Structures are given as structure tokens and as C-alpha cells.
Amino acid sequence: MPEFHLLPDAAAVSATGFDILWWYEVAVAIVMTTLIFAGVFFFAIKYRRRSETETPRTIEGSPLLEITWSVIPFVVMLTFFFWGAALYFHNQNPPADAMNIYVVAKQWMWKVQYPNGVREINELHVPVGRAVKLTMASEDVIHSFFVPAFRLKRDVVPGRYNEMWFTATKPGRYHLFCAEYCGTEHSGMIGWVTVMEKKDFENWLVSGGGEGSMASQGQKIFQQLGCSTCHLFDEQGRCPNLKGMYGSRVLLSDGRTVVADEAYIRESILDPNAKIVAGFQKDIMPTFQGQVSEEDILELTEYIKSLAETRGGMFTSEQTGPTTGGARGGSIANAGQGSLDTRGTSMTNQPPRAEANAQAQDASQPAAPKPAAPGGKR
């Protein structure tokens, strides 16, 4: 029988930050509860009925007192609010150099895939001291990725990508739970997060590779589904050139612009007419809904990412702006497919750095945001 802990493991930066806030709030709650209990007991005893005929005088109330006991607790609550919001904000915005790992949830398992092609089920291996970003999709119902030792959870919602990120601090094995009820085996949809020393992790990662990187898998799918007949790379096809597309701002036929991120790619595969690039026509591309799994889409996305430029900044530029969406806009340094271990060593470098990119040979060509050109004529 495993030993009983009164406190959960804390194995990530987010957990340490959480616990300080947590114990502050617990302390406030205990003080407040004690005050109320003490008040109730004190008054109940001190003013207990001593004779059946006593009639206490009415005390109407006191606006001053009412304001006092509204404002003071509210000020304390504001400390809860601001502290909690600041921490939440931080936990919602992955750093640009976070290592990307994909998670696909389905009834009732967690499928994890690394850009280099390593796959695991109900296991997630991460290195210590490195920001890790999970991009998560669900194949069926809502699940929730919950690692108590990190004090983090994020729902995994079908039809969209949800992200979470963390920096693990302590090697070890930690529970991974599904926290959103998802059907029969909900309580069996559990696994382990293994936090490893960096060296161990890199060894583990290279030894595990299977059928090639996600990008190369994606490239195969890209060919199989015939995407390459319209999405040409060296000339204008019937559909937008995808080279350099990822992470850029795209002008749409209705005048809006969107950032070509994972969500946009996913939507364009499943519902191509939703956002037509300016200068292109509707109904050229059929939907691939039902033909591709979430994993296929993630591999295609990795492939398209790998077509992205060496980051030079042209596509993302400053309009992506305050990068509120986190890593999306300008994050592409690490989006380039391929060897995680390379990036592992380079993470401290500045992002704009040409990473050897297998697929994107001619770096110069797609420099201009393709779609913007025809769009400009509108």
C-alpha cells in the first residue's frame, strides 16, 4: 500500500507558484472561519436567554458597519483576484521557445506524439528545466489533461486545439488524470508524466523514434490525399502555396486577416470554405472531415510548419503584435520540424536563427506572404 501523503508532489514551476497562493488563501479562509465561529459562539453564549421574559432592545443596524464589513473582505478578495489572475495569465502564455508536444485524447487514452515521430500512450516524457507546450486535440468528447504535481489542467475539447505549458522542476513519475467526465472508463483514462534529466530525456527521445518525424509522416499524407496537386510550392497552383504560410498573417477574401496557426490549418482542412485566402475561390478544395484523424491533422500541421521559412520574421512581423496568443504569432523558430535535440541545445539562443530545415530548401522564394499579394488588389 503506497504511503499516504497529506501534500501533493510539486514538480513544476507552476506548482511552486500555485502553492504559495494556495496557502495564503487557506490561511485567510481559516482566519475568517475562526472569526465567524468565534463571533457566533461568543454571542450565543454571552447573550444566551437568562429569563423567559427578557426582551432585548432592537438594534436597527449600522450602515458604517455594513460598509466596513463589505469593503475590508473585498479588499482581501482583490488580493486573491490579482494574484490569481497574474499567475493564470502567466500559465496561459507559453514562452516562444517552448518545446512542442502533441496530445490527442480519445475514449479512453492519451496519445502523445513528439515532432520527431516518437509516440507513446498514457505516458508523457518531458525534460526538467525546459518549457514544454502541449497542443491538445480530442477525437471524441471533452477530456481534461490534469497533472496534479504541476497544479495544471486543461480541457481537451473536440473541434479545437487547447494548449497548456509547464516547466518541470523535479525528475520523477507523476499522475496524469483525465479530469473531465468522458464516459465508461473515465477513471481509467490515466497515465504517467515522467520528468527526466535533460540528458536522459534526449537519449530517450532519439532512441524511441519510429516511422520518421511527424513532418515526414505529414508529407506522406499530403501526397496520399492529393493535396500536392493543388498546393504547389514553386508556382501558383489552384490553392495557396503553403510554403512559408505557417505563422504568417493571411488576408482573407472577406477582408479579414488571420494568423495561420494550428487552429487555422485544422479548420482549413476540415472546413475549407470557412476562411478563403484572398484571391482564391471557394469550393475548390473538398472537406477532409472524416477522412483524416486528429493525429493526421497534427502531422499535416507539422509538415506545413516545416515548410515555414527560416523564421526571418517576414511573415509574422510586428503585426502579429503583442503576441497575446502566446507562441502562435512569432513562435516559429521552434516550429521547424525535426530534431528536438537540436532545439534542446539551442533553446537559450535567440530565435531568429536559421535552423536546418529538411523540406524548406529555397528559403528566399516564399518570403513575401503569398496570399497577401493577390489580396492587395482587392
Q: Considering only residues 276 through 295, tell me which ones interact with other proteins, judged by CB under 8 A.
A: 289
Q: How far is the CB of 9 from other proteins (least distance, A)?
A: 9
Amino acid at 25: E
Of the listed pieces 45-53, 123-131, 278-286, 305-313, which binds other proteins according to CB under 8 A?
45-53
**36, 206, 230, 284: which one contacts other proteins (CB under 8 A)?**
36
Q: Rounded to 10 degrees, what is the CA torsion of 17, 21, 27, 33?
A: -140
Looking at the chain, how many residues does it have? 378
Q: Which of 16, 129, 140, 226 binds other proteins (CB under 8 A)?
A: 140
Q: How many residues interact with other proteins (rule CB under 8 A)?
A: 89
Q: What cell does 94 get? A: 507559453
Interacting residues with other proteins between 294 and 353 (CB under 8 A): none
* DSSP category for residue 2: P
Site string for other proteins, 196-215 (x = CB under 8 A): --------------------
From CA 329, how far away is CA 16, in angstroms rounded? 29
How far apart CA 58 and CA 339 sit, in angstroms, is 78
Shortest approach of other proteins to residue 59 CB, angstroms?
Answer: 6
91-95: long-range contacts (C-beta < 8 A, 24 or more apart)? 91/14, 91/152, 91/164, 91/165, 91/166, 92/326, 93/324, 93/326, 94/131, 94/133, 94/163, 94/165, 94/326, 94/327, 95/131, 95/165, 95/327
Minimum CB–partner distance for residue 7 and other proteins (Å) = 8
Near other proteins by CB under 8 A: residue from 123, 155, 200, 341: 155
Minimum Å gap between C-beta 224 and other proteins is: 22
The radius of gyration of the chain from alpha carbons, rounded to an integer in Å, stands at 27
- As given in the structure block, the three cell numbers for residue 183 are 464516459
CB nearer to other proteins: pick between 190 and 258: 190
Instruction: Candidates 122, 130, 158, 258: give the one binding other proteins (CB under 8 A).
Output: 158
48 contacts other proteins (rule: CB under 8 A): yes
Given the complex with other proteins, which of 175 and 220 has the nearer CB atom?
175
Name the one range near other proteins by CB under 8 A: 154-162, 198-206, 243-251, 303-311: 154-162
